[in-house]
Amino acid sequence: MRVITGTAKGMKLKTLEGFNVRPTTAQVKEAIFSIIQFEIVGARVLDLFSGSGQLGIEALSRGAKRVVFVDNSRAAISIIGENLEHTKLEQNAVVKNQEVETFLKTTEEIFDIVFIDPPYSKGLLNEILPLLKDKMSDVGVIICETAKEEELLELENFRIHKVHKYGKIKLTVYRHL
């Protein structure tokens, strides 16, 4: 797993080990950043269920102003810290070791771009999405990675802009109305 482009281009990132780990594939990551390529510079980004932090780190490498990483796993938080240090991108990053729902209910920050990649087929996205409506800027973009068969709800003040399928993976892009 490597950073695709930007200041950390080509740098290898560490990932968690185990059967429950599902890093975003290179093809899907390239698709995500193709979708938001003109919106990333200067953006305030939120990376939920961060895992290794690869999406947020890619955003920082491409010029995001700030990225907040949220994951409830201590192991994930440790890997994110190592990856940020390795890529020298830690100065514009905040790493939170807490439940995503708790973070969204307590933060007062506003974000331009949100990446959400929760464990598949557990219904977590439909619990999390409504909590984002007051956390997004007027140009907000929410990108959800799910299993292809998962259905996502409509979101107040947002519309589903596009749905992309890559094998067993589906990307759903919400844009602010």
All domains of the chain in start order, with CATH: 26-176 (3.40.50.150)
Confidence (pLDDT) at 21 = 58
pLDDT along the chain (177 residues), means of 10: 93 79 81 95 97 96 98 95 97 97 97 94 89 94 93 90 92 93
Task: Answer whether 23's CB lies under 8 Å from 51's CB.
Answer: yes
In whole angstroms, give the CA distance from residue 143 to residue 91: 24
Confidence (pLDDT) at 135 = 96
Q: Tokens representing 56? A: 């947020």
Using the CB atoms, write b or e for 135-161: b if 16+ within 10 Å: bbeeebbbbbbbeeebebeebeebeee
Confidence (pLDDT) at 133 = 87
Crossing angle of the two packed helices 26-35 and 54-61, in degrees rounded to 10: 50
Cβ neighbours for 142, distance < 8 A, ≥ 6 positions apart:
113, 114, 116, 129, 132, 136, 155, 158, 173, 174
In whole angstroms, give the CA distance from residue 130 to residue 31: 25
Confidence (pLDDT) at 16 = 82
Q: What is the pTM of this model?
A: 0.95
